[in-house]
Amino acid sequence: MKFLLPFLTFFSLFLSNLVQAEMPQPDTIKNPPVPHVVPSPPPIAAKAYILMDYDSGAILASKNPDKKVEPASLTKMMTAYIVYNELKQGNIHLDDEVTISKKAWQMPGSKMFIEVGKKVKVGDLIKGMDIQSGNDATVALAEHIAGSEETFTELMNRYAKQLGMKNTHFQNATGLPHKGHHATARDLAILAHAIIHDFPEQYKIYATKKFTYNGITQYNRNKLLWQDESVDGLKTGHTNSAGYCLVASAKRGDMRLISVVLGTDSAAKRVRESQKLLNYGFRFFETHKLYSAGQRIVEARVWEGKRDTVGLGLTQDLYVTTPRGQFKLIQKQTDVQPDIKAPVKKGQKLGNLKVTLNEKVIAERPLVALDEVEQGSFFKRLTDQIKQLFQSLLAMIGL
């Protein structure tokens, strides 16, 4: 044993020097990329606003995002969401003819100029609501779907709850002033995201610049459609009490942003402030797809199963938004549950994924089993139990 000690010492030093030689020395490590400086958002003259990345859901700028305010005609986005869903489910069709009620015909405010007792196709009413912001078309659609605007409003609130719009409550389908009728910038961004994601074909209507019905041509009130070619939606709103409001969405390259500006004091200002927000987001941030749904991110050891491992991944695509130039600095950490035993069900949560930038968590998702693992035979279970026992003993004695 005395003769082995010098040899072991030499061998240990040799391995240490070898490892050090293979490791990059401080003067050879490349300097990390210098992150771009991200300034504060520009001043926005509005009661409340929010700027959200469509794919990641990251909030890039906000002011009073959860303040309850009057949404005015932005309310029609929820009416549209329900109408689109009814179309998708096959409950109504674009060619269905709707008989216009006296209530719909006499609605005040912006109009499509439909006539009482006449029949109008659902497709035309949708354009009248989305492009011209017609209160008459909106009520006609609500009555067609639910029998009355009051019953339709119940649907609106149920959908709002389902979508996670926690601080929104509707009293009508149009957005005309009414006590207890309110929404928030955050909730309206959630709703805009849902429209774009769930009904991409119907969403295209919002980019239409004009619509002619009954010999009357009216233009889309979202003037950003003329000013910025990357803008393709969504909706304006205005009442004396709510001020001038605009929910906009724009896509430049692979990046889509949603802006909500509430309570400006002129139609021109809601356009200008929305443009400032969108330009800020596209200029100083970037969004990347990190993982696809179902992509194998890590392998987890499974005990007592027919297979020894199972792949873990995500149930949905994961996008991250970072200040421009800092994407390469993100860190990804996986935390897998220890001692996973079969049976394992597909979709079973078995760990977590955490994404950080400069030690700040920017995304966190559960890791789930991508396949099922059935329980192994009696002999396989016994063998794995013995292996685990030995591992525990070795851990106890520090080996």
Catalytic residues: 73, 76, 133
Say if CB 242 and CB 69 are below 8 A apart. yes
Task: Report the chain's C-alpha Rg in angstroms.
Answer: 29
Distance CA 76, CA 83 (A): 10
> Going by C-beta distance under 8 Å and a sequence separation of 6 or more, which residues neighbour residue 155?
82, 145, 146
Q: Tokens for 137?
A: 């078309």
For residues 268 and 258, is the Cβ–Cβ distance under 8 A? no
Tokens of 105: 């015909």
Question: Nearest to residue 38, comparing CAs of 51, 27, 48, 57?
Answer: 51
User: How far apart (Å, rounded) are the C-alpha atoms in residues 83 and 80?
Assistant: 5
* Pairing, β 309-313 against β 298-303: antiparallel
In the chain, the DSSP E strands lie at: 48-53, 59-63, 97-99, 119-121, 210-213, 216-219, 231-239, 243-252, 255-264, 285-291, 298-303, 309-313, 318-323, 331-336, 340-341, 349-357, 360-369
